[in-house]
Structure 1
């Protein structure tokens, strides 16, 4: 439960806001709303999609290997709401790093949470078992070998990657989100899905060196991953932020200024760019009613 001192402070703030609203009308109400947002204790967890890894400028307070950006979606949300942000996102994080150190001297991510935490956001699961990253690398390698023709990655791997997501990643994400709920019992928790990396059918070889027949294969894998994340969120009473519609047409094959995800030859390959992080922030705020 929140501390008595903090609770009394909030009661006083609400009472003052109501009195001001009655006396001065709408402007006072807007000011009171802004003051309430300033008191929002916000903790951001997650992997490179949360960290905005490699999007400049980097956060000078973050461990260097995390490549955390000052333009990641947690920073955008904090700036727009006036929330007090504690950002422990880190590129390369897996569900294991919620409860274990990712690097020497870097605390488990859930250690940033407490009963006083009001808001938590996270993106996690994509790095587990190296399944999703491994699939993209395997399909890119196979695509280069086939000159972008056929479905060499699907032919070689079949259901291997989706089986890993269903049998390994899904229960790990479920346990991770449950742990977040346990450590921050009073917080609103938003679990974000992963925006589309590839279009539904026709890719953009060699910008993304995935063979034509493997494009729907990887889309199906990403659908399975997002479904696993969604089930983990709903099972813990968290809000799932679904990008299936909003990120359609903003994949890595699109032009700069339209795409949320950058292609291979970029500063943040196959990861959200600054525009993508800002849109992820907008969709998260919409889902939470912020």
Structure 2
């Protein structure tokens, strides 16, 4: 029996050697193809104000190579097509935002497998009007009282409900129609203001103490509108509210994710810094289960 087993081993060895000599080895598995990923959206996605700038983008977009789409693509090994652009509104998904800048939806195709965005904050100039109007009122009142609340009341939140929400919903649906095989994620906006007025914040964000909750509530309203639009179009909503708490523009330079209006480090104020963009990438990867 031992001799018979030995002969079988010799025969198997001979066959293996012959196959190897003929080059008939098992084919190597093909390397996995990178995930086709398209980044859409406004300055919070473009990281406008963060260096270095993306040389492939229009200077008007102020797109950074340190934005969360670039961070995400590197971490998950995706093939990124980044068309984010500072100042983008929902209308710029279907139309050209600047001369030579194509509509953002043109970047999508049936091959796209991942889409991310922040959008809606520039519609009706919600962000800029809120900050400018409330800062102007705050300076006029020397930071006392709630002049912006008294002047504008429900104007900003009414615009969000009647104009921004349906526009964001339509933009999300248009993205899904252009890339039916893709997972679509829309991020909420990280906190700009704390929940309550803080000592020293007026020097960086000149909002009257009584208007700080008012400005915060406008952002809550906007993020809820974005979340609602995501739920109604089958997109993933990436909620930044809990994670960005305590990282608002009133915090110290080593803590904040959003730079203040005054004495910040970005060349575009009231926007995420590189730390904030990296955090947005982490949270999006986690929400999509791509880690």
Aligned residues: 260
Deviation at 1:191? 0.5
Q: Which residue of 2 aligns with 1:11?
A: none
Spell out the pairing of 1:1-290 with structure 2 (5 A cutoff): 35-36=31-32, 38-203=33-198, 204-265=201-262, 266=264, 267=266, 268-290=268-290
Preserved CA contact (<8 Å) 1:88 1:109: yes
Tell me the distance in 2 between the aligned counterparts of 1:100 and 1:79.
Answer: 29
Deviation at 1:52? 0.2
Tell me the distance in 1 between the aligned counterparts of 2:105 and 2:247.
Answer: 32
Q: List alignment gaps of at least 5 residues for structure 1.
A: 1-15, 21-31
Deviation at 1:39? 1.8
Normalising by structure 2, we get a TM-score of: 0.87
Preserved CA contact (<8 Å) 1:251 1:261: yes
Q: Which residue of 2 aligns with 1:4?
A: none
Normalising by structure 1, we get a TM-score of: 0.87
Tell me the distance in 2 between the aligned counterparts of 1:147 and 1:121.
Answer: 40
Tell me the distance in 2 between the aligned counterparts of 1:257 and 1:180.
Answer: 36
Q: List alignment gaps of at least 5 residues for structure 2.
A: 1-25
Q: Which residue of 2 aligns with 1:27?
A: none
Deviation at 1:105? 1.5
Preserved CA contact (<8 Å) 2:49 2:269: no
Of 259-268 and 134-143, deviating more is 259-268
Q: Which residue of 1 aligns with 2:14?
A: none
Tell me the distance in 2 between the aligned counterparts of 1:219 and 1:58.
Answer: 30
CA RMSD of aligned residues (A): 1.5
